[in-house]
Structure 1
Amino acid sequence: MNAVNTSDASIEKKETVMNKILGAISGSFAPILGVLAGSGLISALLSILTTLGWLSAKSGTYAIFSAAGHAVFYFFPVFLGITLALKLGANGYVGGAIGAALLEPHYTDLVKAGAQNVDFLGIPVILASYSSTVFPILMAVSIYTVLDKFLKKVIYKDLQMFLNPLISLMVIVPLTVLVFGPFGTYVGGALAVVIKFLSSKSGILTGAVIGAAWSFLTILGLHWAVVPIMIANLATGGDPISPMAAAAPFAQIGMGLGVFLKARDKDLKTLVGSGLVPSALAGTTEIITYGILVRYKRTMLFVAFAGAIGGAINGALEVKGTAFALPSFLSIPVYTPIGLYLMGTLTALIIALVLTLVFGYEGKSDPVPAKTVKEFGLANVKRETILSPLSGEIVSLSAISDPLFSTETVGKGIAIEPTNGEVISPVNGTVTTLFPTEHAIGVTSEDGAEVLICIGVDTIKLKGQFFTSHVKQWDTVKKGDILIQFDIEKIKAAGFNIKTPVVITNTNQYIDVVPVMEGKVQAKDELIKLIV
Structure 2
Amino acid sequence: MGKYEELAKNIVKEVGGKENVNDLTNCITRLRFKLKDESKANTDVLKNMDGVVTVMQAGGQYQVVIGNHVSDVRKDVDTVLGVLEPDTNVGPKGNLFDQFVDMISGIFQPILAPLSAAGMLKGVNAILAFALGSGFSASPTYAVFNAMGDGLFLLLPIFIGYTAMKKFGGSPFLGMMIASSLVYTGFIDGSATALFAEGGGLNFFGIPFSIPVAGYGSTVMPIIAATAFGAFLEKQLSKIIPDVVKLFLVPFFTALITVPLTFLVIGPVMNIVSDGLGSALLAVQTFNPILFGAILGFSWQVLVMFGMHWALIPFAIIALSQGQPTALLTPSGSVSFAQTGAVLAVMLKTKNAKLKELSIPAFISGLFGVTEPAIYGITLPRKKPFWASCIVGAFTGAISMGLGIKGYQMGGLGIFRYTSSITPEGDMKYAIYSMLLDLAAITAGFALAWMIGFKDDEPTLQLSKEEAKLVATGKGPKTQLSKTPNHEEEIFAPIAGKVTPLSEAGDAVFAEGLMGKGLVIEPTEDLVLAPFDGTVMTLFPTKHAIGLISDNGTELLIHIGIDTVQLDGKYFEAFVEQNATVKKGDKLIAFDQAEIKKAGYKTEIPIIITNTPDYHDIIPTTQPSVKAGDDLITTIAQA
Instruction: Name which one, 1 or 2, has greater alpha-carbon Rg.
Output: 2
Do both share a fold (TM > 0.5)? no
Higher helix fraction: Structure 1 or Structure 2? Answer: 1
TM-score when normalising by structure 2? 0.38
TM-score when normalising by structure 1? 0.44
